[in-house]
Amino acid sequence: MTKNMGFFDRVIRVLAALFVGILFITGQISGLTAWILGTVSVIFLLTSAVGTCPLYLPFGLSTRTGRKAKA
């Protein structure tokens, strides 16, 4: 897959996932909300690790500086 996520995009996603994890550990979120946010957090971590966001591909978006995503 073509990488289409820039450094700051990846950092923001990891920080958001960590924030949700902290909310879950401290008991601030629970139930269905915790499951939904937890799933989104896992997706954020996976896409950050790979460097590709599948939702960017159909639109040809890229947050990488100086590069464009290949269609």
Query: Mind listing the pLDDT tens digit for each residue in 6-64?
Result: 999 999 999 999 999 999 999 999 999 999 999 999 999 999 999 999 999 899 889 99
User: Could you tell me which residues come within 8 angstroms of residue 51 by beta carbon, excluding any fewer than 6 positions away?
Assistant: 3, 4, 5, 10
pLDDT band, very low/low/confident/very high, at 70 (cuts 50, 70, 90)? low
Report the pLDDT value the prediction gives residue 2, as an integer from 0 to 100. Answer: 84
Q: What is the pTM of this model?
A: 0.83
Please return the burial class of 24, using the count of CB atoms within 10 Å of its CB with bins 0-12, 13-18 and 19+: middle
Judged by DSSP in three states, 11 sits in helix
Q: Where are the domains of the chain?
A: 7-59
d(CA 58, CA 35): 27
The 3-state DSSP class for residue 1 equals coil
> Is the pLDDT score of 65 beyond 90?
no
